[in-house]
Structure 1
Amino acid sequence: MDDVKIGEILLPGDEETQQKQEEKVRRRFWPTFRKAARQIPFSRDVAAAYYCAIDRETPLRVRGILLAALGYFVLPIDAVPDVLAVIGFTDDIAVLTTAFALINRHIKERHYEEADRVLADDEKPA
C-alpha cells in the first residue's frame, strides 16, 4: 500500500465527518477486532487507539486521524479483503501503523489500561 493512499485515508475530516466516523467505529470495532486480534501483532495498541479516539480529551485532529484509521479497519470492503486470513489485514496494519506513528504520544496510559482490561476479560466492553 503506497504512502499517498494511506495519506488520503488518514485525513482527519471536519467535526461532522468525525462524528459519523466515530459512530461507525463504535458500532463495528469490537466485532472486527475480535476477528483480527490474533493476526495483528499489536492488538493492544489497536484497542488503546480505539479508547484514545473516543476520548473527548484527545485533540480533535488526533481523534480524526485515529477514527479514519479505525474506520478503514472496520470497513467490510477495503484494498485487500479481510477474509483472506493473514494477508487480508496487511493493508489495515499499514494504515494503523502509519496512524500510530503520527499520533503515538497522544495514546495515554489510561487508554492502555482500558485496552488491557478488555483484552483480559476477552469480551466486548459495554
Structure 2
Amino acid sequence: MSPQTEHEFQDRLRALYRRTGDEVDTATAARLRAARRTALEAAERPQLGRWLVPAGALTACLLAVVMIWPSAPHPARHATTSTTAISTATNDTDASDSLPPDPDSTDPALYEDMDFYAWLAQQSTTTSHTARGG
C-alpha cells in the first residue's frame, strides 16, 4: 500500500469505529481490548527469531574460516626457510641467482628443456671464470 492509500484506509476505519463503537456490547469490547493489548505487547517484545538466522550464518562462516586457516598452505613461510637453506649452502654466489623458480608460479613449458638450462648455467659460469682469469 502507498502511504496515501494507507492513510485513507486508516481514516475510514476510524470513522467506522466511531460510528459503531457505541453499538458494541461489553463482552465484544473486552475481547477487542484484550486482542489489542496482546498485539501491542507482541509488537514491543524483541523478536529474537529475526536475528537467529543471520547470526547463525555469520557464526558458521567464522567457524569455517577458523577451521580452514591453520591447514592452508603458507608459501611465504616455506619460501623463507628454503631461501635460508640455499643461501647458507652457497657461500661464494648470490642466493637470489642460485634459487630455482617456484614451480607453482612458473610456466610448465619452462621445464620441458631442462638440458638447455643446465647448458646455459654452465656457459654463464664458464664465461665468468674466463673473464676473471683472463
TM-score (norm. length: structure 2):
0.21
**Higher relative contact order structure (alpha carbons within 8 Å, sequence separation ≥ 6):** 1
Under a length normalisation based on structure 1, what TM-score does the superposition of the two structures give? 0.22
Higher Rg: 2
- Of Structure 1 and Structure 2, which has the larger fraction of its residues in helix? 2
